[in-house]
Amino acid sequence: MKIASWNVNSIRARLEPALAWVKSANPDVVCLQELKCQEEQFPREAFEALGYNCAVHGQKTYNGVAVLSKHPLEDVTPRLKGDDADEQSRYLEALISGPKGVVRVASIYAPNGNPFPGPKFDYKLAWLERLRAHAADLLRNEEPVVLMGDYNIIPQDKDAHNPKGWLKDALFQPESKDALRRIENLGYTDAFRALHPESGHYTFWDYFGSWERDNGIRIDHILLSPQAMDRLNACKIDRHVRGDSEKPSDHVPVWCDLDI
DNA sequence: ATGTCGATACTTTATCGA
């Protein structure tokens, strides 16, 4: 089962390239982030026409996540527990039945956290701690779990073309890296890093000319539970998507293939 | 400090978030 994630930076602004990528990549499951629209504005019919069931957790202007699947979606759960006052749409989970079994998939849009320091950075760390607590709970089911999306965290120096340029940024603070490592220490694996240990692989380039200089960072991650890791066949970054359209997202898709 | 996007609003330009 091919399971992909992509921060599209507005699904309405990105509909044409998104449909083109889905048609060519043909994933079984797609997690989208930064929809920047409410659920009723999501172009559901366009994806249904390609054979996808759509679960959407939208929000006006900001955030918004979705899970699209060619297989049945069950147990669809929006919101990350732990703070009922949190109105930001950054988490959507679903159970998906594949030909060989089930997999639990979450579409994640973690807070950016800039400017650092400040209340937005505090919110980022609190949100990531809520994600860690939930990730720990999920392990008790001993099922394949895929926690994928835009974590807004650069894990290591080798995940940035210019690490020194990020030293004052929320995405590269030690507390941010620690928050990701704490989730991994529960038993989750960064699937891309496990299969590709070398530097130079990025998922985000800003719109300020970074693509032309390959000044990228790797911040979109696929975290796999042990039961999912056992079934991992491949994990890739669809870098070409940045150059495939005239109005690309600042992120490109990442995906894994699981024997499920 | 700056660059560029996308969405929004008491638009047609400024603001915010990234």
Distance A37 CA to B11 C1' (A): 20
Angle, alpha carbons A217-A108-A8 (nearest 5°): 60
Under the banding of pLDDT at 50, 70 and 90, the label for residue A196 is very high
Going by C-alpha positions, the residue among A180, A120, A122, A129 that lies closest to residue A156 is A180
Structural domain total, chain A: 1
- The question of whether A207 is a catalytic residue gets the answer no
Query: Is any atom of nucleic acid chain B found less than 7 Å from the CB of residue A9?
Result: yes
pLDDT digits (tens, 9 = 90+) for A135-188: 999 999 999 999 999 999 999 999 999 999 999 999 999 999 999 999 999 999
Query: Is any atom of nucleic acid chain B found less than 7 Å from the CB of residue A247?
Result: yes
Cβ atoms of A148 and A192 within 8 Å: the answer is no
Beta-carbon neighbour count of residue A219 at 10 Å? 24
CATH number at residue A128: 3.60.10.10
User: What pLDDT is stored for residue A163 in this prediction?
Assistant: 97
Distance A39 CA to B12 C1' (A): 28
**Catalytically annotated residue among A28, A52, A91, A109:** A109
User: What pLDDT is stored for residue A181 in this prediction?
Assistant: 98
User: What pLDDT is stored for residue A157 in this prediction?
Assistant: 98
| Nucleotide nearest the Cα atom of A150 (by C1') | B18
- What torsion do the CA atoms of A128, A134, A138, A140 make, to the nearest 10 degrees? 120
Q: Measured between alpha carbons, how far apart are the two ends of chain A, in Å?
A: 6
A40 φ/ψ sector (left φ>0, alpha ψ -120 to 50, else beta) = alpha
User: What pLDDT is stored for residue A139 in this prediction?
Assistant: 98
User: What pLDDT is stored for residue A74 in this prediction?
Assistant: 98
- The question of whether A109 is a catalytic residue gets the answer yes
Query: Is any atom of nucleic acid chain B found less than 7 Å from the CB of residue A181?
Result: no
Distance A221 CA to B5 C1' (A): 23
User: What pLDDT is stored for residue A35 in this prediction?
Assistant: 98
Distance A117 CA to B12 C1' (A): 36
Query: Is any atom of nucleic acid chain B found less than 7 Å from the CB of residue A13?
Result: yes
Arithmetic mean of pLDDT, A111-136: 97
Distance A13 CA to B12 C1' (A): 20
User: What pLDDT is stored for residue A233 in this prediction?
Assistant: 98
pLDDT digits (tens, 9 = 90+) for A71-119: 999 999 999 999 999 999 999 999 999 999 999 999 999 999 999 999 9
Residue nearest to nucleotide B4 (CA to C1'): A207
Contacts of A49 (CB under 8 A, 6+ apart): none
Arithmetic mean of pLDDT, A4-12: 98
User: What pLDDT is stored for residue A149 in this prediction?
Assistant: 98
Query: Is any atom of nucleic acid chain B found less than 7 Å from the CB of residue A207?
Result: yes
pLDDT digits (tens, 9 = 90+) for A13-51: 999 999 999 999 999 999 999 999 999 999 999 999 999
Nucleotides of B under 7 A from a protein CB: 2-8, 17-18
Query: Is any atom of nucleic acid chain B found less than 7 Å from the CB of residue A62?
Result: yes
User: What pLDDT is stored for residue A132 in this prediction?
Assistant: 98
User: What pLDDT is stored for residue A198 in this prediction?
Assistant: 98
pLDDT digits (tens, 9 = 90+) for A198-243: 999 999 999 999 999 999 999 999 999 999 999 999 999 999 999 9
Q: How many CA atoms lie within 13 A of A182 on its CB side?
A: 16
User: What pLDDT is stored for residue A92 in this prediction?
Assistant: 98
On average, the pLDDT of chain A sits at: 98
**Catalytically annotated residue among A28, A52, A91, A150:** A150
Containing structural domain, residue A155: 2-258
Tokens of A155: 């894990």
SS (H, E, C) chain A: CEEEEEECCCCCCCHHHHHHHHHHHCCCEEEEECCCCCHHHCCHHHHHCCCCEEEEECCCCCCCEEEEECCCEEEEEECCCCCCCCCCCCEEEEEEEECCEEEEEEEEECCCCCCCCCHHHHHHHHHHHHHHHHHHHHHCCCCCEEEEEECCCCCCHHHECCHHHHCCCHHHCHHHHHHHHHHHHHCCEEHHHHHCCCCCCCCECCCCCHHHHCCCECCEEEEECHHHHCCEEEEEECCCHHHHCCCCCCECCEEEEECC
